[in-house]
A = this chain, B = another copy of it.
Amino acid sequence: MSAKDVQLDPVDIAILRELQKDGRIANKDLAAAVGIAPSTCVDRVARLRRTGVITGYTAQISPEAIGRPIQALLTVQVQPHARPLVDPFVVHVRSLPETLSVHHVAGPDDFVVHVACGSSQDLQRLVLDRFTSRPEVARLQTHLIFSTWNGGPLSPYPPQDPAAPRR
């Protein structure tokens, strides 16, 4: 089953909302929050996990607390004919300890890389030594991050039909 074919009912949506707010909520409390029996809740969560709606659980870490107070978004354009170098570029970027995420995008730029560094000096070294020195990098812009807000829990779209069959 492809994850995109999964039908979600209102209970599933409530479960996803709660698990995004607190990924370690006890099954008992989760069941109470969404109004079903704990045993049923185990089934629901297991199915959401199995069908790929829930891809995993993670602890959120404060970058500042672990010595990485400087964050930036790097927009990168690669050379027009650097296609054979694109995959190695992604591998390279992912291997950097400063890398939080890499997006391959269409638009004015080709890649957007989110990084977290120990200082502005480290950011400078990262940009110069790990990015602009590479031949496939044609242009790079640094967007220093002042502050970040995360959105609310991601809710399904379009609004699910409560009467829709589960699958």
Q: Point out residues on A near B: beta carbons under 8 Å.
A: 3-4, 6, 8, 16, 19-24, 51-69, 72-73, 75, 90, 94, 96-109, 112, 116-118, 122, 141-152, 154-158
Contact = CB atoms under 8 A, between A and B. Distances in A.
22 contacts: A4-B69, A6-B65, A16-B59, A19-B59, A22-B56, A23-B23, A23-B58, A54-B62, A56-B60, A61-B154, A68-B156, A68-B157, A72-B105, A73-B103, A75-B108, A94-B149, A96-B151, A99-B151, A102-B149, A103-B146, A105-B143, A108-B143
A107 B143 contact: yes
Nearest to A94: B149
A53 B61 contact: yes
B67 A62 contact: no
Nearest to A149: B102
* Number of identical monomers bound together in the oligomeric complex: 2
Main secondary structure of the interface of A (DSSP, over half): mixed
Interchain residue pairs A-B with the least CB separation, the first 3? A23-B57, A19-B59, A107-B143
Contacts of A98: 157
B55 A57 contact: no
Given A4-B65, A145-B105, A146-B104, A97 B155 contact: yes
Contact of A147 (B57, B104, B122, B151): B104
A60 B68 contact: no
Nearest to A45: B59
A65 B8 CA distance: 9
A130 to B, nearest CB: 13
